[in-house]
């Protein structure tokens, strides 16, 4: 394993962006009046953000 690759800031930026997308998806469902379209959009954003964060973690682990 290469520690240089694990310390690359771009991996952590991807994780933080994924967290913000996930949080936005969660909050959009809570703040805006409940409708089917908003709920689906919130769920999609939540899962996309989680996948972005998980991909950043796997990039670190791949090393």
Tokens standing for residue 23: 């949080």
Q: Could you read off the pLDDT of 7-45 as tens digits, one per residue? A: 788 889 999 999 999 999 999 988 887 788 888 999 999
**Statement: residue 1 has pLDDT above 60:** no
DSSP-H helix ranges across 1-63 = 3-6, 9-31, 36-62
Distance CA 63, CA 61 (A): 5
Tokens standing for residue 13: 């930026």
| 52 Cβ contact list (under 8 Å, min separation 6) | 14, 15, 17, 18, 21
Q: Give domain limits for the chain.
A: 8-62
């Amino acid at each position: 394993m290469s520690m240089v690759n694990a310390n690359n800031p771009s991996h952590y930026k991807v994780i933080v962006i994924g967290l913000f997308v996930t949080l936005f998806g969660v909050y959009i469902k809570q703040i805006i009046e409940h409708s089917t379209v908003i709920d689906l959009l919130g769920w999609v954003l939540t899962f996309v953000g989680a996948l972005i964060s998980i991909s950043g973690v796997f990039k670190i682990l791949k090393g």
